[in-house]
Each structure stands twice: as C-alpha cells, then as structure tokens.
C-alpha cells in the first residue's frame, strides 16, 4: 500500500486497493471499528448472546420496533440516515471508513437500505422443529447491468468464529450479470470464502458479489449489519490516484514472459484468475475488469496484458 | 412399481467444469439426495467431491444432462452470467 492520503480527514484508498476491488469485488478492513462503537451498537439492540430469545420471529420483531436501528427512507442522503452521536453515525465518521466510501461511491452517497442479519444457533431451530439451513447463493437486488456500482458495507460487531457461519462470498463474481436467486442451484464454488473475523470488521462489497449467510453451529447468536449505498456522482478517479503508473507505459510481456515481474502491479492484479474461473470465460473476466478499470479511470486507452487492445485492433 | 423394479430414489450430483470436456477440472458442485441419507446445502464443502467430471463417471454416476454450447449474440459477446459448463449426474438407490 502506498502512503495514505488524507483529504478532509478521509483516508482514501490507493490505486492497488481499487484495482483489487475491481478484480475481486470486495475490500475487507479488519477490526477498523473500535470496541466502544461495537459495544454501543450491540447494547442499543438489547443484544443477547443466547437463552433469552423466545423465538426467532419475535426477537427480530422486538429489535425492528425498538427504534434501535431507524427505519430510513430509501433515496435519502447517507449523511442524514443516522442520528448524530449514534453508533452507526460514529462508524460512518471513522476516517478509514469515510475514505473507503468516498473512494468507491463518492462524497455524498445515497442511502439505499439497511438490514440487521441474525444467524441463530441450532437450539432455536430444534425448538421450533425447523430445518437449519444456510442461505442459498444469491446476488442482491435484481438484474443490474450498470457500469456504475453500489456498495454494501457488511459490519461484524463481534468476533465471528468459523462455527458461527459468517457470510459466504465468491471473490470475483461481481461482474457476472445474473438474476438474484437464480444462482441458488450452485451450492459450492471453488475459492468461496467464509467470513471469520475480529470484532469491528467491515467488508465493502460490490453489489454484484455472489454471497449467502452461513449456518451458525455455535451456541451464540451471530449479528451482521448491512448498509447499501449508491453513488450520487460519476465514479471517476475518486481515490488517491497519485500512485498510478504514468500514461503511455508499454504493456508487459505476456505468455512468454521471461522471469521476474511485479506481481503487485495493477496489470497483475487485474489479470489474476480466481479458482472458479472457467478456462475461456476467465479471459472474458479479465476483459470485463479492464473495461471496469477504464470506466473508473475515464481512460479508454488503458489495458492490462493486452486483453482489450487485441480485440480492438481492427484496421480498415 | 413392480417387484422386479424396486422403489428407488434419485441422488443428483451437479458438477460445473472448467470447459465443455468431461475430463477437465470441477469448479463448482451441488448434491441433492432424494434417498434421505444426507442433507447438503450451500457452503457445506470447500473441496469438490471429484477432481473432474470423468472421475464421477468412473465412480458410477450416470450423466443425464449437459449444458449446450450456445453462439455468442452479436454485441453481447462479453457479458458473463451463469456458470457455463453444467453437468447433471444421477444415481438410483433405495430410500434410506
């Protein structure tokens, strides 16, 4: 990572962080939310670990009607979504969080929706005679072919252990245009990740990431709070771009590459395959990443490993 | 059902491969067990049950459906969506 750039107290992302987001569709910041905000958020929910929950539906209903998390109209400024001094307002005011949001969706994002996800332990399903099952893989919302993108911040206010079934997600799936739960048939995909993290971790996800909640096999409730937001402005060079390579750099050798090379270069980041990539469409993924990178840079010339220029070379 | 064709249930294995060839790597997998012996769900394993589709054939799975190879619509050649190389297999077993 290059030296952090601070503007208006925002810690902006650097170009490699943005390129990784373009390639893989997520940014993870471990334990970025301090303990006092995590504690205040959970306390406001009237959080219990286990035992005091009569049933899952009533527990959700009590929190939803308590006002601990406000009901916010879709489409308002994110800055107006949470009361000043509330845990969520404090979370969004953290310099690293502000910087990541600003780098991805700009200064004045639009609030879309939020939701508190609770994964209950096996005892609650057994008590109600229900099958405890993980959430199917899905892509949120609906078919979304935009070049612009929304982000969803997933907030884990307490430690998430492996047996708690943290969010499952598929890195690099965000550029696939599918229809929400149409991908539910896919149970397991090579390279899928399961969130295991310390308290206060945030996962910033492109809206297109394939994901689903895992099954909680612990004896504690698991909480995850999600906020979706949209850009109000064109997503053009919103991060710290001072570390970008100078324009006009030659392409690096491809296929017959010799030895060495910078594996952390932006070209390498954009052309690194995922374990689930099919042989042929993996190459199309690279093309779509380059096109996404061009959109964010507003530069129709930039390429990585010649994937796009090759198919644009059409002399007349 | 007749006595010569005992009551059977279907196990369905879906493999997603890296190409249209059965002897290439598994990149995704699902399993639905109509016999009631097992209960599978999303995210329950991070390693595939077989390395390739051919390995599943050699283990007794019967191939019953293959995704077709479709031409690429003009102007939409680079839009990606669902996993491309889907193979359905079955076994027939008595219920648990």
Burial of residue A119 (CB within 10 Å: 0-12, 13-18, 19+) is buried
Instruction: Return residue ranges of chain A for CATH 2.60.120.620.
Output: 7-230
- The domain in which residue B63 lies consists of 9-71+78-93
Instruction: Report d(CA A245, CA A132) in Å as an integer.
Output: 50
pLDDT 10s digits, A106-151: 999 999 999 999 999 999 999 889 999 999 999 999 999 999 999 9
Q: Max CA-CA distance within chain B? A: 57
How many structural domains comprise chain B? 1
Nearest residue to A224 (alpha-carbon basis) of A234, A233, A216, A232: A216
Specify if B49 maps to a domain: yes
Specify if B41 maps to a domain: yes
pLDDT at A49: 65
Instruction: Report d(CA A139, CA A142) in Å as an integer.
Output: 7
Across the interface, whether the CB atoms of A177 and B14 are under 8 A apart is answered: no
pLDDT 10s digits, B7-56: 999 999 999 999 999 999 999 999 999 999 999 999 999 999 999 999 99
Nearest residue to A10 (alpha-carbon basis) of A82, A88, A97, A70: A97
List helix spans (H) across chain A: 15-24, 35-45, 56-66, 87-92, 95-105, 122-128, 266-270, 281-297, 307-312
Average pLDDT over residues A92-99: 97
Across the interface, whether the CB atoms of B40 and A280 are under 8 A apart is answered: no
**Where does the pLDDT of residue A1 fall: very low under 50, low under 70, confident under 90, or very high at 90 and above?**
very low
Distance of residue B8 Cα from the nearest chain A Cα, in angstroms: 23
Average pLDDT over residues A286-301: 97
How many CB atoms are closer than 10 A to CB B78? 16
pLDDT at A258: 83
CB neighbour list of residue B83: distance below 8 Å, 6 or more residues apart: A186, A189, A278, B16, B27, B28
Interface residue B50 vs chain A (CB under 8 A): no
Specify if B1 maps to a domain: no
Across the interface, whether the CB atoms of A176 and B82 are under 8 A apart is answered: yes
Least confident residue range of A1-10, A243-252, A296-305: A1-10
pLDDT at B1: 47
Instruction: Report d(CA A304, CA A271) in Å as an integer.
Output: 7
Specify if B62 maps to a domain: yes
Interface predicted TM-score (ipTM): 0.95
What the block records as the tokens of A67 is: 């006002």
Nearest residue to A297 (alpha-carbon basis) of A249, A234, A206, A230: A234
Look at residue A50 and tell me whether its pLDDT is greater than 70: no
pLDDT at B41: 97
Specify if B86 maps to a domain: yes
Best mutation target among B20, B43, B71, B72 (most A Cβ atoms within 10 Å) is: B43
Kindly report the average pLDDT of chain B as a whole number: 95
Contacting residues of B for A276, CB less than 8 Å apart: 27-28
Contacting residues of A for B81, CB less than 8 Å apart: 176-178
Average pLDDT over residues A185-212: 98
Specify if B3 maps to a domain: no
Look at residue A32 and tell me whether its pLDDT is greater than 50: yes
Please identify, in words, the CATH class of the domain defined by A7-230: mainly beta
Across the interface, whether the CB atoms of A186 and B48 are under 8 A apart is answered: no
pLDDT 10s digits, A142-177: 999 999 999 999 999 999 999 999 999 999 999 999
Across the interface, whether the CB atoms of A284 and B29 are under 8 A apart is answered: no
Q: In which residue are the tokens 């409730």 written?
A: A221
pLDDT at A247: 86
3-class DSSP state for residue A240?
coil
| Rg (chain A; Cα; Å) | 21
What the block records as the tokens of A201 is: 């971790």
Q: How many CA atoms lie within 13 A of A157 on its CB side?
A: 24
Closest-CA residue of A relative to B31 is A187
CB of A223 closer than 8 Å to CB of A45: yes
């Amino acid at each position: 990572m290059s030296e952090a750039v601070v503007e208006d107290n925002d810690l902006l992302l650097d170009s490699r962080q943005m390129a990784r987001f373009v390639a893989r569709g997520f940014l993870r910041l471990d334990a970025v939310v301090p303990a006092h905000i995590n504690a205040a958020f959970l306390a406001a929910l009237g959080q219990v670990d286990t035992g005091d929950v009569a049933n899952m539906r009533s527990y959700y209903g009590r929190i939803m009607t308590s006002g601990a998390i406000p009901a916010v109209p879709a489409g308002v400024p994110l800055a107006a979504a949470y009361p000043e001094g509330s845990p969520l307002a404090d979370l969004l005011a953290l310099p690293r969080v502000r910087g990541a949001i600003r780098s991805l969706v700009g200064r004045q994002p639009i609030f879309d929706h939020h939701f508190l996800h609770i994964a209950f332990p096996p005892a609650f399903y057994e008590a109600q005679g229900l099958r405890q099952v993980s959430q199917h893989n899905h892509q949120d919302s609906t078919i979304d072919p935009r070049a612009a993108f929304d982000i969803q911040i997933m907030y884990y206010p307490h430690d998430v252990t492996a047996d708690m079934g943290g969010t499952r997600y598929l890195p690099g799936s965000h550029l696939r245009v599918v229809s929400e739960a149409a991908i539910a048939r896919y149970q397991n995909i090579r390279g899928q990740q399961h969130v295991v993290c310390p308290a206060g971790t945030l996962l910033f996800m492109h809206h297109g990431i394939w994901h689903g909640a895992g099954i909680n096999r612990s004896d504690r409730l698991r909480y995850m709070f999600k906020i979706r937001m949209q850009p109000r402005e064109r997503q053009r060079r919103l991060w710290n771009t001072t570390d970008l390579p100078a324009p006009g750099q030659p392409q690096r050798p491809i296929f017959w590459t010799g030895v060495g090379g910078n594996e952390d270069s932006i070209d390498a980041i954009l052309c690194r395959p995922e374990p689930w990539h099919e042989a042929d469409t993996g190459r199309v993924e690279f093309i779509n990443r380059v096109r996404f990178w061009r959109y964010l840079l507003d530069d129709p010339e930039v390429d990585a490993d010649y994937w796009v220029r090759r198919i644009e070379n059409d002399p007349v | 059902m007749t006595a010569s064709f005992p009551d059977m249930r279907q196990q369905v294995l879906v493999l997603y491969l890296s190409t249209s060839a059965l002897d290439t790597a598994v990149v995704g997998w699902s399993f639905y067990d109509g016999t009631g012996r097992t209960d599978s769900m999303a995210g329950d394993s991070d390693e595939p049950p077989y390395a390739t589709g051919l390995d599943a054939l050699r283990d007794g799975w019967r191939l019953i459906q293959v995704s077709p190879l479709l031409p690429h619509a003009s102007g939409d050649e680079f839009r990606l969506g669902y996993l491309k190389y889907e193979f359905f297999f079955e076994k027939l077993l008595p219920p648990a």
